[in-house]
């Protein structure tokens, strides 16, 4: 598979992948307040990035301090892999009434939505890995976007925000409690994406008040 990827010419890739890559040419550094961020979440059949599959993708985009609900994305994918044990969490049945699209159409729509924006996710390595596995199954490369993990950001920022030692790791529910964020539509991709976006903005606001808001700090792992 590795050799196949390197041997492909630009003309062998689908137009949507070429269009996605074009967004990363000659990127100019933008002030944080003028940057379009995309918070996203995936609901999956399980936690094995190789064997499990994405059931749904939810995303919200925002610039500045407000989140326009009309700039959002919600996708439900056709399911070949199904794990009934996870239904209690995400409530997405194989025969559910949601309009579903193919995995390929979903990744095409998702890439067109995120372009070269900075991506926000909680436990971002998992969601990033699930998307990259979709790309790999269709002989494409990996996501090129910069990522910010809200869990990592809060953990490294807690001494700035609270100036005291708290827990070493935080779930999304933990951060909702710490930052007083309502858990609306929890465990749906779109709901968790919106919660993640609100959490991110609350962390940014507290960092900004303490003169600690710079790109170098946000992107440092």
Helix (H, G, I), strand (E, B) or coil at 37: strand
Dihedral over Cα of 99, 109, 17, 147: its sign = negative
Q: Tens-digit pLDDT profile for the chain (221 aa)?
A: 444 444 566 668 999 999 999 999 999 889 999 999 999 999 999 999 999 999 999 999 999 999 998 999 999 999 876 555 554 544 555 545 678 999 999 999 999 999 999 999 999 999 999 999 999 999 999 999 999 999 999 988 887 777 566 777 899 999 999 999 999 888 899 999 999 999 999 999 999 988 889 999 999 87
Q: How long, in residues, is the chain?
A: 221
The reply to whether the predicted model has a pTM over 0.85 is yes
Q: How far is CA 94 from CA 41, 44, 45, 83, 127, in A?
A: 19, 12, 10, 9, 21
Return d(Cα 122, Cα 181) in angstroms, integer: 14
Contact indicator for 90, 108 with CB cutoff of 8 Å: no
Q: What b/e string do you get for 109-144 counting C-beta neighbours within 10 Å, with b at 16 or more?
A: ebbebbebbbbbbbbbebbbebbebbbeeeebeebe
**Counting Cβ atoms within 10 Å, is residue 154 exposed (0-12), middle (13-18) or buried (19+)?**
buried
């Amino acid at each position: 598979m590795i050799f196949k990827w390197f041997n492909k010419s630009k003309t062998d890739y689908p137009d949507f992948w070429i269009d996605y890559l074009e967004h990363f040419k000659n990127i100019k550094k933008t002030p944080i307040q003028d940057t379009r961020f995309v918070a996203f979440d995936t609901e999956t059949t399980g936690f094995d990035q190789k064997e499990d599959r994405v059931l749904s993708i939810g995303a919200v985009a925002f610039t500045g301090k407000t989140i326009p609900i009309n700039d959002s994305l919600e996708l439900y994918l056709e399911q070949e892999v199904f794990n009934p044990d996870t239904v209690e969490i995400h409530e997405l049945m194989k025969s559910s009434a949601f309009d579903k699209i193919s995995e390929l159409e979903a990744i095409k729509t998702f890439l067109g939505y995120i372009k070269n924006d900075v991506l926000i996710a909680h436990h971002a390595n998992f969601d990033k890995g699930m998307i990259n596995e979709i790309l790999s199954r269709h002989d494409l490369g990996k996501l090129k976007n910069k990522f910010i993990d809200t869990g990592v950001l809060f953990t490294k920022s807690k001494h700035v925000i609270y100036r005291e030692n708290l827990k070493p790791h935080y779930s999304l529910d933990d951060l909702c409690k710490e930052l007083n964020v309502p858990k609306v539509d929890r465990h749906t991709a779109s709901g968790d994406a919106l919660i993640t976006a609100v959490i991110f903005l609350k962390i940014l606001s507290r960092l900004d008040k303490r003169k600690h808001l710079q790109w170098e700090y946000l992107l440092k792992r």
